[in-house]
Structure 1
Amino acid sequence: MAADDRIEVNVDGFKVVAYSFGAGSETVFCLNGGPGLPCDYLRESHSCLVDQGYRVVAFDQLGTGASDRPTDTSLWTIARYVEETETVRKTLGLGKVHMLGHSWGGWLAIDYALAYQQNLQTLILEDTVADMPHLVLELERLRASLGPETVSMMQKHEAQGTYDHPEYMAAVTILNYRHVCRLPEWPAPVRRSLDDWNMGPYATMQGPNEFLYIGNLKDWNRVPDLPRIKVQVLITHGEHDELTPACGLRMKLGLPQSELHIIPNASHMPFYENPAAYYPILSGFLSRNKAG
C-alpha cells in the first residue's frame, strides 16, 4: 500500500522522512526495529489498519531509509531517538497515539513512554524486552541448542572479532531462521529493510548481529521503571522469538495495565509468520482502548 503522505521532518538540522496512511481520528504510531533498519517491513505489515479506521504513521529513523545518514556515532543513542520520535509526533500533529514498537522500536517506545506518557493512548510492545542483561541470558540459552562445539566456535570468533568468518555466519543464519523469521522465504518488505541496513547505528547501539549485544545498550534495563507506565499495554511475542516469551513475562509483571499474548508458530515476525493469530489480538486491543 502506497503512503498517502510522505513528510520530511527537520530533526536538529537533519531530514527524517515519515509516511502516513489513512485519515482516521486515532493514530497507530509505529517504531520499527533495528537499530539501523528502514521502516518498510513494519509500515507495510501494519498499514492495513487503515481498513479499521486508523491512521497509521511510520518513519525512517535518522540513519535509515530515505532519512539523512550522518556518520557521527555520538548520534546513535536511545535518548536522542526518543527526542526524534517526539519531534515527528509534534510536527505531524498526531496528538495522543497508540504507540507500537517492534524489537528495538519497543525499547525506544518504553523510554518514550517514561518521558512522554501523556502523549500515549496505549502502548503496544511487540517482540521486545525491557531488560537487556536478561535478554543476553535468554540468547545464550537459545544458541546453546546448536550444541557445545558450535557455541565454542562462536565464542572463539566473538573473542577474536571475526564475525564475518563463514562458519560463524552460518551459525547465525541458523539462529535467524529459527528465531527471527521461520518462513522459508522471507517477505519482500523484510528483505528490503534488511538489504538497506545501516550497520553504523546497529553496531554502535547493539552489536554485530542479533545474538551478540556489546553496544551502548548492553546494560539498558527499564524493569524498575515499568510501574510508572499507567496506560494500557499490549505485549506480544512469537513462541520461538529471539526476544523470548520470558522477556515478555518480565515486562508484564512490571506493567500494571498490561496483557501478554504468545503467537504460536511464529518467532520475531508474527505479523508475517502467523497473521491469522496476530491481527485479531492487535485489532481487539485497539478496539477496546479507543479514546473516549
Structure 2
Amino acid sequence: MWREIKPDERLEVEVDGFKVVAYSFGTGDEVVFCLNGGPGLPCDYLREAHSCLMDEGYRIVAFDQLGTGASDRPADTGLWTIGRYVEETETVRQALNLGKVHMLGHSWGGWLAIDYALTYPENLKTLILEDTVADIPHLVQELERLRGALGSETIAMMQKHEAQGTIDHPEYLAAIAILTYRHVCRLSTWPAPVKRSLDDWNMGPYGTMQGPNEFLYTGNLRDWNRVRDLPKITVPVLITCGEHDELTPACALRMKLGLPNAELRVFANASHMPFYENPQAYYPAVLEFLSRRGAAL
C-alpha cells in the first residue's frame, strides 16, 4: 500500500541547459521508471503512490519533468512538446545509469511512455500504461459521452462558455467539478500527495499541450494518435484503468487491441487514480505483472 517515503536519493540532471530533479527509492536491480501525468504536474502524486514498491525489491525512480516541481520552470512555450519530453526522459535514464527499465506512465505520462517506447524500444523490459490512451481524437469522443451524462441543458451551458471564452464562470466550473469527482478521483478526501501536485500545477505546459481543463482538448496534443504504431511495441504491456476513468475503458481496450503483447485490468470503484481509490486491487495486479512478465525476460 502507498505511503509517503523519503527518497534515498535526490538527483539533479542537466537537460539542454536546464535542471531536472529526479528521486530514487530502493536499491533493487529491477528499475520501475515512473512518468507522471499532467502535463505540468510535479511527480509527487505518482512518486508517493509507487515508492512502496521498493518493499518488493524494486528500485523506483521518478522525476519532476521540466517546468514542474523542483525542476527549472522556463517560460518558453516552444519547449512544451512531446518529442522534447521523450528526449528529456532518455537523458534522465542515461544520467542515472538505469539500464533497461520497467516504464510506468500514468495519464499524460502514458502518452509520453508510448512515444518513448516507439523511439527507444531497446531500453524497455516492460511497459505499464495506466489510465491513459493512444488516440486523443478517440478520447475526445469519449469525453463528450461523459459530459453528456450531465444533461442537455448543462452541455449547452458548457458549450456556450467554451465558445465565448468564459470558462472561468462559476456555473461552468461547477460542471467541471462534478466531472472531476466522477472521473478523476472519487475519494471524498484526496490524498496529500495528490493535493501537493495539484496545488503546484504549472498551467503553462498544460495549456500549451492539452488545454484549459481535463475535459476540453485544445493544445498541441489534440490530434496525437499512435494506434497505427502500437504493433511496433513488442515488450510485455500491462494496461490499467478505473471503471469510471476519464480516460475510459474503451480507450484502454483500443490500446490492447493494437498491442501484440498486452493485457488489460479494469479496477472497480475507481476512476483516474486506482492506486489511491482501490489499492487493494491495484498493487497485487501490478506486482504480479512485474514478477511474471519481468522474470520471463
Q: TM-score, normalised by structure 2?
A: 0.98
Q: Deviations over 1:210-229 (max 9, x none)?
A: 00001000000000000000
Q: 2:20 aligns with which of 1, 16, 28?
A: 16
1:192 aligns with: 196
SS of equivalent to 2:294? coil
2:96 aligns with: 92
Q: 1:67 aligns with which of 59, 64, 71?
A: 71
Aligned positions of 1:120-131 closer than 5 A = 120-131=124-135
Q: 2:277 aligns with which of 273, 281, 286?
A: 273
2:84 corresponds to 1:80: yes
CA drift at 1:54: 0.2
Task: Tell me how many residue pairs correspond in the alignment.
Answer: 292
SS of equivalent to 2:115? helix
1:151 aligns with: 155
1:239 aligns with: 243
1:164 aligns with: 168
2:205 aligns with: 201
Paired AA for residue 104 in structure 2:
L
Equivalent-residue separation in structure 2 for 1:162 and 1:232 (angstroms): 45
CA drift at 1:161: 1.3
1:34 aligns with: 38
SS of equivalent to 2:33? strand
Paired AA for residue 159 in structure 1:
A
1:109 aligns with: 113
1:283 aligns with: 287
Equivalent-residue separation in structure 2 for 1:243 and 1:151 (angstroms): 19
- Percent identical among aligned pairs is 79
Paired AA for residue 77 in structure 2:
T
SS of equivalent to 1:289? helix
Equivalent-residue separation in structure 1 for 2:78 and 2:17 (angstroms): 15
Paired AA for residue 107 in structure 2:
S
Equivalent-residue separation in structure 2 for 1:178 and 1:149 (angstroms): 19
Q: 2:258 aligns with which of 244, 254, 258?
A: 254
SS of equivalent to 1:136? helix
2:57 aligns with: 53
Paired AA for residue 202 in structure 1:
Y
Equivalent-residue separation in structure 1 for 2:236 and 2:188 (angstroms): 35
2:41 corresponds to 1:43: no
SS of equivalent to 1:20? strand
Q: Deviations over 1:65-118 (max 9, x none)?
A: 000000000000000000000000000000000000000000000000000010
SS of equivalent to 1:290? helix
2:144 aligns with: 140
Q: 2:267 aligns with which of 241, 263, 266?
A: 263
Unaligned runs of 5+ in 1: none
CA drift at 1:163: 1.4
CA drift at 1:290: 2.4
Paired AA for residue 12 in structure 2:
E
Equivalent-residue separation in structure 2 for 1:163 and 1:206 (angstroms): 15
Q: Deviations over 1:142-194 (max 9, x none)?
A: 01000000000000111111111111111000000000000011111000000
Equivalent-residue separation in structure 2 for 1:191 and 1:13 (angstroms): 30
The farther-off stretch of 281-290 and 61-70 is 281-290
CA drift at 1:289: 2.1
Q: CA RMSD in A?
A: 0.5
Equivalent-residue separation in structure 1 for 2:136 and 2:294 (angstroms): 31
2:122 corresponds to 1:118: yes
Unaligned runs of 5+ in 2: none
CA drift at 1:259: 0.0
Equivalent-residue separation in structure 2 for 1:208 and 1:224 (angstroms): 28
SS of equivalent to 1:55? strand
